[in-house]
Chain A
Amino acid sequence: MDTTRRGFLASTAAASGAAMTQNLAQAADEHAHDDVALPSEPALRVKSLESLLVEKGLVDPAALDAVVDIYEHKVGPRNGARVVARAWVDPAYKARLLSDGRAALRELGYGGAQGEDTLVVENTPRVHNLVVCTLCSCYPWPLLGLPPVWYKSAPYRSRAVIDPRGVLREFGVTLADDVEVHVWDSTAELRYLVLPERPADSEHLSEDALAALVTRDAMVGIAKVALPQKGAQL
């Protein structure tokens, strides 16, 4: 069992071009007698890389902890939802958001990595927008956080441009025949956020209550925003 695991790790590492064979085999040995499952192959490689980088003074492990914390807990779709809700309740803000997204987002404090130039595209009863990055995984980090696996996956990246209506149906969104579908392929350093349609009969809701309804999926364009079922808590 040990030999097999070791052999697997060694051959995988060699095949992937990361010649860390010896290192991996040692790491595997350290865990070989544990009853619990062995750490995964990439986990071992990352551990080895991080300790090397720390030893060389190339990274500060406390800074790495902080980066993980920022993207796990501080930056995420709540940011985008706040922008959407503001646009729904404030027509002047919405006009600024659609004409100069960068400046309007700055007003709410959003910009920075993977969001320096963000364009907001508006869904209407006649137009539905869908965002994709066919070449890699470009996504408006400051507004939505890091992209989910499906967004980065081959099935979504390949089909969103050739069969957007099929993709939307798979996500449960069926569009009327007369609706225009606009797909935005993020091929340069512009990032896209969909401004979903405000749900009907939501006039009584506060800006915060509206923001709570806005999902990541609606801001990528694979969902619509709906009011909660009657009787459900907001």
Chain B
Amino acid sequence: MNGVHDMGGEQGMGPIQYEKDEPVFHASWEGRVYAINRALGAWRKWNLDASRHGVELLPPADYFRMSYYERWLTRLIDISIKTGLLTREEAESGKPTSGSSKAAPPITAANVEAAATIRASARRAEAVAPRFAVGQLVRARNMNPVGHTRLPRYVRARTGTIERDHGVFLFPDTNAHFLGEKPQHVYSVRFSARELWGNEARLQDSVHLDLFDDYLEPA
């Protein structure tokens, strides 16, 4: 979707605020949100792409007003309700619906070390033929899907060169909506800075994106 999260090339966002000796979490609740996110993800009611899309669906004003972990918290509650892990009543009251049975969490103190550091990879073993070859000129499609996509607006309709074939991965645009994995090749595509930003940009500079087969057409 053409949302405010897709901010490559936007201007006027202000100076970069660098914090020296920044803590990993700025408050203990941030760490709890991060950990709850990992622990609930282990129920496999949703996937990483659906989770990312949850943040993209925040209204633009909320997206900018909220801190990073506030966005995570809000989408975590939303997606838990959408997928039936919680009912709206439970989220509102903070109490389990009476009579609901108590579950056994998949991530426990006993297995957390492995569970917290290993995640199902998005790489797939299927033998899918690549549509493009290293060295080939390609154009990023001019497409504007209303759902999740990982093709940023700033490269759409721009021409680049395939620099590397990363192999086969599941496709976020369908996976985010539980419409199947549609495994396909992902390529490192090099776009010259001038192709993206015009003649003011340095001739020798470039931006490299990892793009899926379905995002590209021959140039």
Contacts and interface: CB of A to CB of B under 8 A. Distances in A.
A232 interface: no
Contacts of A164: 205
Given A20-B92, A183-B208, A188-B150, 12 more contacts: A22-B93, A49-B91, A63-B112, A64-B36, A66-B109, A72-B24, A149-B19, A153-B16, A162-B9, A162-B197, A183-B205, A187-B210
Contacts of A60: 39, 105, 107-109
A76 to B, nearest CB: 8
A59 B107 contact: yes
Contacts of B93: 22-23
A136 B119 contact: no
Contacts of B178: none
Interface of B: 5-11, 13-19, 22, 24-29, 31-36, 38-40, 43, 52, 55, 62, 64, 66-70, 73-74, 76-78, 85-86, 88, 90-96, 100, 102-105, 107-109, 112-113, 115-119, 121-123, 150-152, 154, 166, 169, 172, 186, 188, 193, 196-197, 202, 204-212
Interface residues on A, range: 35 or more
Contacts of A159: 11, 13, 16
Contacts of A185: 8, 152, 207-210
Nearest to A52: B94
B17 A150 contact: yes
Nearest to A117: B123
Interface core residue of B27, B52, B69, B77 (most chain A CB under 10 Å): B77
